[in-house]
Structure 1
């Protein structure tokens, strides 16, 4: 087995501070490498700058995206969209494994009272390609509430510019009082 330096906590391996199993990392999956490229390309298309440094090959970029300190999440275009990507910062914040995160309907990241506002923001992002400056309350898998500040939401498109989903990134959040 290939071992390398651990840069973050994996919820699905025995990684502590020094090693992790490379094969267990979701960013190693070719589908995730491809999706990471679509996330990065779409972000650059709509926002006009790069989300991360785009050096190295696609696999290196997928790893970098998974390991960055800010949150990156996405969902598909199903009628009730399901989360299909969350980097390590997202998994930590939502207190959930990759397997569980990527089978969760994205609406469940917000409490019922906050879903209408979330849907308005997503609709606006669909129309213009992106939405910059979203603030809202989210809830982790354990019921812990946190406030997201200044999130950027964008439409993920393929090379023909067909919508494939939506993604969000943010680096500012705070846990709600009592959570």
Structure 2
């Protein structure tokens, strides 16, 4: 049985995580202090340590929550009944471009922003990042396999390798788009994606 106190406690914790995602997606992990998050979330400092214990523990919880939501949205995109599996894959990458192109990504670009930084800062956050990104690559590989089943994609032997290459391609495009402040890297990534999937331009 879920009590009102438990529900309220979960809402406070989720609220701190959501605020942390938005702020850190813009500034990075190291540049953001706990007080900034708590002020924006409107909760006392004691609440932070009650739920997380440390900034690293918060980072791990934040990444876990981020990837859970990301995977849910990805599953929704890759299971649309009105689209072939090839179209679903292209929809996913179009959604990536739209989410990463926003000036204020509202936490949607957390993996891109924090990937290299947290891998060097914290083993627990690195593992959370590894688990989350592995889930993305796995879903891409499953979508490629499904595309071969419905014949919207041609046969390839190394589905996992192709899925990983696609993910790496789009991660790189996201970084270059931020550096150049132009969506052109996403256009190039989409053209390469179509080529790798053997789809018409």
Report the TM-score when normalising by structure 2.
0.26
Structure with the largest fraction of helix: 2
